Amino acid sequence: MTIDELEKYFETVELPLTIKLNTAITITNVPGFVKSHFEVLNNYRGNNSFYCFYKRLMLLKSILDENK
């Protein structure tokens, strides 16, 4: 999934305020998390040093899809 496709996904899905990604990570402001992660990805597009931002968004997407 491309960054643009992922961004379109998050524009259409209803986001909870908080969510637990795993046992170590709880997001307390999901909309802010999504916004800030896309800002980083779009500012550093193509720079693999920031791949972890993409991976966290994909994990969030996976959890949201499971909870539908």
CA distance 67 to 58: 14
Question: Tens digit of pLDDT for each residue in 9-61?
Answer: 999 999 999 999 999 999 999 999 999 999 999 999 989 999 999 999 999 99
CA distance 49 to 27: 22
Rounded to two decimals, the pTM is 0.93
Question: DSSP characters for 4-19?
Answer: HHHHHHHHHSPPPS-E
Question: Tens digit of pLDDT for each residue in 51-60?
Answer: 999 999 999 9
Question: What is the reported pLDDT for 60?
Answer: 97
Phi-psi region of 46 (alpha: psi -120 to 50; beta: other; left: phi over 0): left
Question: What is the reported pLDDT for 28?
Answer: 97
Q: Residue 27 forms beta bridges with which residues?
A: 19
